[in-house]
Amino acid sequence: MAQYHITLNDELLHGLFTRDEGLAKLLEQVLNQILEAQVEEQLGARRYERTEERKGYRNGSYPRQLTTRVGR
Tell me the pLDDT tens digit for each residue of 39-54.
888 888 887 778 887 7
The DSSP result for 18-40, as a single string, is HSTTHHHHHHHHHHHHHHHHHHH
Domain count, the chain: 1
How far, in Å, are 1, 14, 49, 53 from residue 30 at the CA level? 17, 16, 23, 27
Residue 11 has pLDDT above 70, yes or no: yes
Dihedral pair phi/psi, residue 57, rounded to 5°: -135, 155
pTM listed for this prediction: 0.62
pLDDT at position 61: 73
Q: What is the extent of the structural domain holding 60?
A: 1-71
Nearest to 4 by CA among 47, 37, 31: 37
